Amino acid sequence: MTTVFVPKEVAEREARVAATPETVKRLIKLGLKVIVEPGAGAGSKLSDEEYASAGAELGVAWDADIVTKVNPPQEVDGKHEADLLKKGGLLVGLIWSVSDPALAKRLADNGTSVIAMEAIPRISRAQKMDVLSSQANLAGYKAVIMGANALTRIMPMMVTAAGTIKPARVVIMGAGVAGLQAIATAKRLGAIVEATDIRPEVKEQVESLGGKFIETVEASGEGGYAKELTAEQKKRQQEIIESHLTAADMVVCTALIPGRPAPLLVPAHVVEKMRPGAVIVDLAVSQGGNCELSEPGTVEKHGVTIIGEPNVPATLSTDASAVYARNVLALLMDVVDKKDEAKIKLNLEDEVIDKSLIIQDGTIRHQRTKEAVEGLEEKT
């Protein structure tokens, strides 16, 4: 019987888990045996008893046929999780192999097959597997809530006997999944919302949510992501939006390019000009930050509070785990052949599998990962 192991995440500040009792039941219906490490769901308020009731066994089984995680394997207590994986087994999770070629090489040397959830192509059929979107959606919502909590004023306009309180002005940097959810959330809270993005095609989406679109420079990329800007384009973009930023009470930065450093959108000199008491929430801090002064955690610079939570989805672990687990389930339903004793079948003619299977039986298939590993080897 094909086995699936769901380990407890050990990364700092991580509270998510790659399977829930709901998805465990469905994996078992596929003919899989599911083993969950005790305490794996604790951060998401999911008890071992709930997993057991769903049909999972409690234990540790790194030699399972399939291991599904949230974060990339890492070293724990002197042992690296990548070295514990079964040769010829399948690892499913967020890997970020381009940013960490050493891990990619380690996994390849171990003879492991790896499906990187961040490499799922952005096509209609794969929406139910799109981890980046499911997690970004939650992050966009929580970013506005964190920002509103840090403000020393309210978000909506309020008419009182003591006079009228003006609504807060919010600028959203980036109108991808996180940005659009941030727009919707800030609007629901009653703020005046403006948004900017280098992809002009998102203007209609921004306006449909009640936001005003700040038009800058165009830089649409492949797969629905923004492409990296040239130095001249960055300068022009900054000039256009600076006046909007300095008038804002809250700025939410959501601009990310997978596998690359975050683009700098809010330079230090702009922060200096912002209103005292303004708040910046930088969702890109883990990749360098969209704000030049962002740091992991919360800091105050020039009277501006800058929130740089590196893992916002984990602060909403119950829902983040629920949608992540469903993304993984949807993928495994395509990987497991229910008609053939739930054996793993990696069909490379399937675009989803072809794009996301970055390593197959120790061979690196993903071009950018291969180049990163080759570059690493050249340095050594």
> Catalytic pick from 133, 134, 294, 356?
133
Helices (H) and strands (E) in the chain, counts: 12, 21
Domain-ending residue, one of 253, 287, 310: 310
Q: Given CA atoms 51, 56, 60, 61 in this order, what sign does their dihedral have? A: negative
User: How does residue 27 score in pLDDT terms, banded at 50, 70 and 90?
Assistant: very high
> Catalytic pick from 122, 236, 260, 365?
122
Q: Given CA atoms 364, 370, 374, 375 in this order, what sign does their dihedral have? A: negative
Sheet with 279-282, strands from edge to edge, namely 212-214, 192-196, 169-173, 250-253, 279-282, 304-308, 297-301
Q: Are residues 194 and 168 in the same domain?
A: yes
Catalytic: 287? no
Catalytic: 122? yes
Mean pLDDT throughout 47-57? 98
- pLDDT above 80: residue 305: yes
pLDDT, tens only, 321-380:
999 999 999 999 999 988 888 899 999 999 999 999 999 999 999 999 999 998 887 776
Mean pLDDT throughout 137-143? 98
Q: Are residues 239 and 112 in the same domain?
A: no
Residue 299 belongs to what H/E stretch? strand 297-301
**What are the Cα distances from residue 107, in Å, to 112, 118, 170, 355?**
6, 17, 43, 18
pLDDT in the model for residue 235: 76
- pLDDT above 60: residue 226: no
> Catalytic pick from 47, 127, 208, 243?
127
**What are the Cα distances from residue 242, in Å, to 75, 87, 197, 237, 251?**
43, 53, 14, 8, 12
pLDDT in the model for residue 302: 96
Mean pLDDT throughout 112-133? 95
CATH code where residue 154 lies: 3.40.50.720
Q: Which residue has the higher pLDDT, 297 or 218?
A: 297
Q: Would you state the torsion angle of the CA atoms of residues 335, 337, 338, 343, taken in this order, to the nearest 10 degrees?
A: -100
> Catalytic pick from 130, 197, 249, 282?
130
Question: How many domains, the chain?
Answer: 2
Residues paired with 160 in a beta bridge: 163
Q: Are residues 183 and 289 in the same domain?
A: yes
Q: Are residues 273 and 367 in the same domain?
A: no
How many CB atoms are located within 10 Å of the residue 58 CB? 14
- pLDDT above 60: residue 221: no
Mean pLDDT throughout 32-59? 98
- CA proximity to 352, closest of 92, 138, 107, 178: 92
Q: Are residues 274 and 306 in the same domain?
A: yes
Q: Are residues 158 and 230 in the same domain?
A: yes
Residue 1 three-state SS: coil
> Catalytic pick from 188, 225, 260, 286?
225
pLDDT in the model for residue 227: 60
Mean pLDDT throughout 33-61? 98
Catalytic: 133? yes
Catalytic: 340? no
pLDDT in the model for residue 217: 65
**377/380 Cα distance (integer angstroms):** 5
Domain holding 218, by residue range, is 136-310
Q: Are residues 109 and 20 in the same domain?
A: yes
Q: Are residues 227 and 257 in the same domain?
A: yes
Q: Are residues 150 and 94 in the same domain?
A: no
Q: Are residues 192 and 294 in the same domain?
A: yes
Domain-ending residue, one of 256, 289, 310: 310
**What are the Cα distances from residue 50, in Å, to 34, 42, 322?**
13, 11, 14
Mean pLDDT throughout 42-69? 98
**274/305 Cα distance (integer angstroms):** 11
CB 6 within 8 A of CB 17: yes
* Chain mean pLDDT for the chain: 93
CB 18 within 8 A of CB 68: yes
Domain-ending residue, one of 293, 310, 327: 310
Q: Are residues 68 and 170 in the same domain?
A: no
- pLDDT above 80: residue 237: no
Catalytic: 127? yes
**286/282 Cα distance (integer angstroms):** 9
| Upper half-sphere CA count for residue 176 (Cβ side, 13 Å) | 27
**238/227 Cα distance (integer angstroms):** 16
- pLDDT above 60: residue 246: yes
Mean pLDDT throughout 279-294? 96
Which are the contacts of 177, defined by CB distance < 8 A and separation ≥ 6? Answer: 132, 133, 136, 137, 140
Mean pLDDT throughout 195-214? 93
Q: Are residues 22 and 68 in the same domain?
A: yes
pLDDT > 70 fraction of the chain, expressed in percent and rounded: 96
- pLDDT above 60: residue 169: yes
pLDDT, tens only, 65-101:
999 999 999 999 899 999 999 999 999 999 999 999 9
**186/250 Cα distance (integer angstroms):** 10
- pLDDT above 90: residue 238: no
- pLDDT above 90: residue 244: yes
